[in-house]
Structure 1
Amino acid sequence: MKDLNLKLSGLKLYLLGYLLFSLTVFLMAYYFNVLFDNSQVFSSSFILNELSFIIILLIFGSVFLCHMLTLLVRNNKISDMLVQKTQCLIESNLALKEESKLKESALKQQQKSKNQYEKLFFNSPEGLFTLDSCAVITRFNPAFSSLLLDQTHNIHDLSLSDFIYSQEHIDTWQLDVIARKNYKEYEWLAKNQSGKSIWLRQSGHWIKNESVWTYEGQIVDITQSKLLREQLKYKTKHDGLTNLLNRDAFFKKINNLKGLNKGHYILLYIDLDRFKLINDTLGHVAGDKVLIEFAARMQFMLGSFSDIARLGGDEFAILMSEKSLNGNEIDLLINILREIQKTFKYLEHHINVTGSMGVRKFKTTCCNYDAEKLLHDADIAMQEAKRQGKNDFFIFSNQLTKKIKRKLHIETLLRELDPDLELSINFQPLYCKFDQNLIGFEALLRWDNDILGRINPDEFISIAEECGKITMLGKWVFDHALIFLEQQEAQSKNLFININVSPMQLQQTRFMSWLAKRVTNSALSINQIRIELTESAMIAKEETLIPHLNTIHELGIGIYIDDFGTGYSSLARIKKLPIDGIKIDRAFIENIETDNGAIQLVKAICAIAEAFNLSVTAEGIETQQQLNVLRHFYCHQFQGYFFSKPLTELQAINLIQSELGNLPKRA
């Protein structure tokens, strides 16, 4: 619109100029004629001449007008061009102004960013630095300086490698510098110019500006977090109480040996005997002190050449190379047991314990094993050491594996046992010393299984105690032994029955209640019923057994110690126990006719029994000579193959019937 108005204004000016020009010419001509020939002003010739002149003027004006129009068109084009150029110049000017503003803003922003960068660089809590292409430090901030530099030292021409402590880390860093590896993190132990060691985490990247390489990096002090991680890592591998390896870490140690050509190794499984008694009597704090002290002893004794672990509770394991023992493994095992026996002190208490140890040898070149299996084998060997009396070691063998498999088989059969179909009782007669007449029987449990045949009581009784079947067996044999004698009571009212019981049975309240009810309701007189406990079993459970033994004694049931002499009972113990008699173990009887030592020992046992007014039974008599010697001692009852082997129920009934006629005394 602005351009159109401009063009119309130009056209009006041209037309107005043309009219003014024509009028001026006409007026000039008119006045000229008037001036020179006033009389002809209004003549026809004058008018004709004037018209001609006007026509000429019109023609001239038209030409002039055309010329003016041409100039106008050209002027319009020039105006358009000028307008376009002006517009372009305006736009260019505006663009230049905008660009100038942007550049100015960019420069200001760049300067601001630079200032911010510098501020961040110097105020950053992280150590920032730059390196040249040779990894020489060119720039750093105060945080970097505080981590690695000493104000008294100059950093001129120092490389980052000058602060790295480990040569392995230096080699890794230098290789990465050559390769220009970007965005890689490093953790390395640094030694600053003050000599202090710290852990640093480094990260950064390489920048190439034209042909010049620069590294921009940062370092952060991770010493505390590194120590915390190491502590957590340590805790995941070690026992919290003793600081020994834990079970998982120990297993990894063993499994990591698999396939390595490092020879033979020994694995020890150690259990502290009767440790539960310490916790129960002195408390868990005392127990923990014993465990800590034991661990320290083992570390001092074995730590330089073995791996030691606490598996849990009072169970420990030790892994060592046979090569490190130089063939003295037996001596080492004995020394370990001796170390365990040394007194542990807690407050005013002096605590003495022993240890049972299982030994498992293995080769690392053999790949068909794992730590769990090896430790299981060592555990089996340790249990065997306990079974054989504790305070000892036992070396695992394939024969032991067979034994354990049989034990597990027997345990399974016990759980599936039908007592009335598989169990029976044999009765071994007991005879009076004075007239050698039958005075009673010892009930002996027998187990005949369809798969394993007859199983020895010495084998299955201990298994029954472990698997919880001893009470069932005890009730069965007690009940059936009483039934047997009750059925013979009409024929003989003076026979007694000795029944073997397990200390574990007597510690069970339900069994004791059942026993009291059973003997009370029996047709037998209470004094016809006696129980036998082995000396070793009674000693092992002495403190907990005494109240139960007192209860039985109050019922009127006789109490006898079987296999006396094998458990090393003291006089004080005999005096404390509510017992009625003892049975001398067959081991002291078998050579009594020729062994003067055996004679003196049996005589001493009999003297002790006489001093405490205890009845004495000599068992295991097999010859007339043995009987002749024993007649001169304080013995009241005899038992053994010389008189009779264990009898079936029918044989025992026949014996009772034959003995009722008072058979002649034996020679």
Structure 2
Amino acid sequence: MSLTKRIWIILATVIAIGVIMSYIVRNSGEQAGISSRNLVSVTIPKLNLIKQLRASITEHERLLYEYYARTTREGLWEKIKSTETELADQLMAINEGFSGHVMTLPKLYGEIKALQNAIDVNLISNSTDWDQARADLAQLTKVGQQAEAILVTLTKEVEEHAQQQTIRSQQQIQEMVNLVILYTLVIMASALVLGYFTQINIRKTAKRRALAKFPERNPNPVMNLNWQGEILFANPASQKLLKEIYPESENLTDLLPTDFQENLKSWQKNYDGQINFNADIDTKHLEFSLSLLRDLESCHLYIEDVTERKEAQDQLEYQAFHDVHTGLPNRRKFELDLTHHIKHTQACSILLISIDRFKFITASQGYHIGDDIIHHLGKRLQELTASMSCQIDTYRLEASTFCLLVSHANTNEVLYNAKLIQGAMDEALYVNQHSYYLNLSMGYCHYPQDGNTTQGLISNAHAALNHARKLGDSIEAYHPQFHASEQSWLPIERGMREALEKHQFIMFYQAKVDAQSGKICAAESLIRWFKEDGSMMSPATFIPVAEQTGLIIQIGYWIIEQGFKQAKQFHDAGHNIQIAINISARQFQYRHFLDQLSQLIESTQVNPQHIELEITESLIMENADQSISIMKKLKAMGFSLAIDDFGTGYSSLSYLKQFPIDSLKIDQAFVKHLESDENDKSIVAAIIDLAQHLKLKTIAEGVETHEQWQILKNMQCDYIQGYYFSKPSTPDKLLA
């Protein structure tokens, strides 16, 4: 029920109560008036009449006694007759207004009159009978007393009746007072209720007024249209937007889509409530909200200029699905597109492309050069794929990995296109006035032959790419056997965890000897895993699994701890043998690596100068700046540092001189054919010469023959290590 309706109901109720109470008060007033009039016009006159009659009877009796006393009529008889007449009139009046006892009064009046005449006759006679006269007067007094008794009774009756009328009048007046009080309370209560609802109405009216001003002051366009779509009202913001879009136009319909009228008819037939839609009006993107008011046959149209928001959303969407450096679609977009192909069973091929040794390029040249190379390669890939016969979409997935999604192509076409791309890399990329020649590894798979899920196909393509990376500058198609090695990792991982618990790992040591004297001066710690069945698993098999699974952190900690303990035992026993410990890539990058070393130094009480940490060249170059920082901290702790497998990586000489190292380990690949291969001999000689100029010691690995030892000795190599002098063995056999 509306507020106005409630107010009218309250007013009508108050008026109805007022009418009813007025009617009741009027009737009560009339009754009180009648009672009052009866009191004034009837009761009081009756009492006066009775009073007059009593006075007349008394006066009449007194005159007759006086007449008896004077015995003369002179001066009295006229009064007596006058009093008699008054008695007659008064009796007549009483007779008209009373009943009951009043019927006795005329009889008494007759007796009074008869006694009056008898007394008069007796007194005017010549022989007055005084006894009779006294007897008549006595009788007159008796009759007067009888009349007095009747009149007293009448007086009481009249007074009682008057009292009843007075009480009735008082009751009626009290009822009127009560009704007036009640009505006053009703009026007051109604006034409070009306005041409450009026206050609400005032507030709602204020809100309605504020809402009425809303369209006028709304910063967004607001329009009111009739059921035919004609604009009846438009706020100032509508005019402002119109001028922004069409400065010369005065027609507000220009703000509406061209198909608005047609759509409005359809909406009116098929929809209720609110309809939201978007439209481009010239350069603006507008958002419309249409409210259909069927009961009013009217429409409210709200318009918002969302151009900036739409541009921001488009930009965010672009950034979400595109790579920032190349502008190419990213991994997320690739996965969506591949999922679309699978959903619609559209045959396609996935070709992953990776830049070989890209980490070393960024490490030596800086990340900004790496980003520029990625940008130029992405551009070249787009140019190449645009000229190919089949439909190809190019993506950058991550770091140095690109992807081609080839639609409706067979294996031969994919391989042919991959070779075209690989051949195009013979032409250098020019970045910041420098030329770069890139080698690309590629792996590919096909849908639906090699998988029917998005993640499965991506995994298979990566397996092919990883296989190609191992070969380097290669193109490989997916084969299920690529996953076999990865699947074999699971039992190895479980076995390593068990080996840690059951202490199946043991440490062997291989001697490093002075190249000139042949004396042992150091030993490299090498882990061995002997299973419960007595068989040994090669470190070349389980160490890569430990690296991939993260177990290398736990195993590496144990290796370092054992190496520290062994170095302490050697030196406590008087053996001046330094222990060399290999540090894995994952362990070197572990955030608590330095803390672990500090804890082990304290717990084992080893002298860090008796420890040499071996770090591979490729590990250092993954992030040269960070590696230099860590190595400086290791040197500050007192450790000796060696670069392991030197010559197999791609370290920059500019970085090499910055490394706080003590020695270079020449990889056994260069030592193996030292007697017969002049190139290997030249490389080894160059490394030794380089180390000497940098004031570094050299250690040659894999020395297995006397000839190799003599060549290295003549080249002034500092230390040698290999089966010619010592196979890996336990500490006691090492010293035997």
- Kindly indicate whether residue 568 of structure 2 is the aligned counterpart of residue 486 of structure 1: yes
Q: Is the 8 Å Cα contact of residues 620 and 639 (structure 1) preserved in structure 2?
A: yes
Which residue in 1 is equivalent to 2:684?
602
Cα distance in 2 for residues equivalent to 1:633 and 1:570: 24
2:413 to 304, 313, 325: 325
Residues 243 and 639 (structure 1), Cα distance of their counterparts in 2 relative to 1, 3 Å cut:
closer
1:476 to 539, 558, 577: 558
- Kindly indicate whether residue 517 of structure 2 is the aligned counterpart of residue 435 of structure 1: yes
Shift of 1:413: 4.5
Q: Is the 8 Å Cα contact of residues 270 and 355 (structure 1) preserved in structure 2?
A: no
The amino acid that maps onto 1:255 is I
The amino acid that maps onto 2:429 is K
The 3-state SS of whatever aligns with 2:660 is: coil
Residues 392 and 441 (structure 1), Cα distance of their counterparts in 2 relative to 1, 3 Å cut:
same
CA RMSD of superposed structures (Å)? 4.5
Shift of 1:363: 6.5
The 3-state SS of whatever aligns with 1:473 is: helix
Q: Is the 8 Å Cα contact of residues 308 and 316 (structure 1) preserved in structure 2?
A: no
- Kindly indicate whether residue 627 of structure 2 is the aligned counterpart of residue 545 of structure 1: yes
- The share of aligned pairs that are identical, in percent, is 23
Q: Is the 8 Å Cα contact of residues 358 and 393 (structure 1) preserved in structure 2?
A: yes
Which residue in 2 is equivalent to 1:377?
460
Which residue in 2 is equivalent to 1:527?
609
1:580 to 662, 668, 671: 662
Cα distance in 2 for residues equivalent to 1:252 and 1:441: 56
Residues 653 and 635 (structure 1), Cα distance of their counterparts in 2 relative to 1, 3 Å cut:
same
Shift of 1:640: 0.8
The amino acid that maps onto 1:369 is N
| Per-residue deviation, residues 149-200 of structure 1 (Å, max 9, x unmatched) | xxxxxxxxxxxxxxxxxxxxxxxxxxxxxxxxxx9xxxxxxxxxxxxxxxxx
Q: Is the 8 Å Cα contact of residues 705 and 724 (structure 2) preserved in structure 1?
A: yes
The 3-state SS of whatever aligns with 2:645 is: strand
The 3-state SS of whatever aligns with 2:674 is: coil
User: TM-score, normalised on structure 2?
Assistant: 0.50
- Kindly indicate whether residue 342 of structure 2 is the aligned counterpart of residue 255 of structure 1: yes
| Per-residue deviation, residues 357-391 of structure 1 (Å, max 9, x unmatched) | 54223365x496334322210122334455667x7
| Per-residue deviation, residues 382-407 of structure 1 (Å, max 9, x unmatched) | 34455667x76544323311112123
The 3-state SS of whatever aligns with 1:377 is: helix
The amino acid that maps onto 1:319 is L
The amino acid that maps onto 2:716 is Y
Q: Is the 8 Å Cα contact of residues 254 and 371 (structure 1) preserved in structure 2?
A: no
Q: Is the 8 Å Cα contact of residues 445 and 460 (structure 2) preserved in structure 1?
A: no
1:307 to 392, 402, 408: 392
Residues 318 and 479 (structure 1), Cα distance of their counterparts in 2 relative to 1, 3 Å cut:
same
Which residue in 1 is equivalent to 2:508?
426
Which residue in 2 is equivalent to 1:362?
446
Q: Is the 8 Å Cα contact of residues 621 and 641 (structure 1) preserved in structure 2?
A: yes
Shift of 1:496: 1.2
The amino acid that maps onto 1:538 is I
Cα distance in 2 for residues equivalent to 1:342 and 1:517: 49
Cα distance in 2 for residues equivalent to 1:574 and 1:504: 21
Cα distance in 1 for residues equivalent to 2:391 and 2:383: 11
Shift of 1:343: 4.7
Aligned residues: 427
The amino acid that maps onto 2:334 is R
The 3-state SS of whatever aligns with 2:579 is: strand
Q: Which runs of 5+ in 2 are unaligned?
A: 1-225, 232-252, 260-269, 271-309
| Per-residue deviation, residues 216-238 of structure 1 (Å, max 9, x unmatched) | xxxxxxxxxxxx9xx99x97999
Q: Is the 8 Å Cα contact of residues 448 and 455 (structure 1) preserved in structure 2?
A: yes
Cα distance in 1 for residues equivalent to 2:705 and 2:537: 28
Residues 629 and 538 (structure 1), Cα distance of their counterparts in 2 relative to 1, 3 Å cut:
same
Residues 368 and 627 (structure 1), Cα distance of their counterparts in 2 relative to 1, 3 Å cut:
closer
Cα distance in 1 for residues equivalent to 2:467 and 2:450: 27
Which residue in 2 is equivalent to 1:556?
638
Shift of 1:435: 2.3
Residues 247 and 275 (structure 1), Cα distance of their counterparts in 2 relative to 1, 3 Å cut:
farther
Q: Is the 8 Å Cα contact of residues 267 and 318 (structure 1) preserved in structure 2?
A: yes
Shift of 1:632: 0.7
Residues 450 and 333 (structure 1), Cα distance of their counterparts in 2 relative to 1, 3 Å cut:
farther
The 3-state SS of whatever aligns with 2:555 is: helix
Shift of 1:307: 3.2
Residues 597 and 357 (structure 1), Cα distance of their counterparts in 2 relative to 1, 3 Å cut:
closer
Q: Is the 8 Å Cα contact of residues 550 and 586 (structure 2) preserved in structure 1?
A: no
Q: Is the 8 Å Cα contact of residues 269 and 375 (structure 1) preserved in structure 2?
A: no
Residues 356 and 412 (structure 1), Cα distance of their counterparts in 2 relative to 1, 3 Å cut:
farther
Q: Is the 8 Å Cα contact of residues 423 and 448 (structure 1) preserved in structure 2?
A: yes
| Per-residue deviation, residues 432-478 of structure 1 (Å, max 9, x unmatched) | 22321222211012234569964433343344333333221221001
The amino acid that maps onto 1:334 is Q
Shift of 1:252: 3.5
Which residue in 2 is equivalent to 1:268?
351
Higher helix share: 2
1:642 to 699, 724, 732: 724
The 3-state SS of whatever aligns with 1:268 is: strand
Which residue in 2 is equivalent to 1:168?
none
Cα distance in 2 for residues equivalent to 1:477 and 1:257: 54
Cα distance in 2 for residues equivalent to 1:253 and 1:336: 30
Cα distance in 2 for residues equivalent to 1:518 and 1:250: 52
Residues 386 and 412 (structure 1), Cα distance of their counterparts in 2 relative to 1, 3 Å cut:
farther
Q: Is the 8 Å Cα contact of residues 565 and 606 (structure 2) preserved in structure 1?
A: no
User: TM-score, normalised on structure 1?
Assistant: 0.54
Residues 252 and 482 (structure 1), Cα distance of their counterparts in 2 relative to 1, 3 Å cut:
closer
The 3-state SS of whatever aligns with 1:547 is: helix
Residues 316 and 586 (structure 1), Cα distance of their counterparts in 2 relative to 1, 3 Å cut:
closer
The 3-state SS of whatever aligns with 1:513 is: helix
Q: Which runs of 5+ in 1 are unaligned?
A: 1-118, 125-141, 149-182, 184-227, 659-667
Greater mean alpha carbon deviation, residues 514-523 or residues 531-540: 514-523
Residues 642 and 508 (structure 1), Cα distance of their counterparts in 2 relative to 1, 3 Å cut:
same
Shift of 1:639: 1.1
Which residue in 1 is equivalent to 2:592?
510
The 3-state SS of whatever aligns with 2:503 is: helix
Q: Is the 8 Å Cα contact of residues 532 and 559 (structure 1) preserved in structure 2?
A: yes
Shift of 1:578: 0.8
The amino acid that maps onto 2:708 is Q
The amino acid that maps onto 1:268 is L
Residues 325 and 579 (structure 1), Cα distance of their counterparts in 2 relative to 1, 3 Å cut:
same
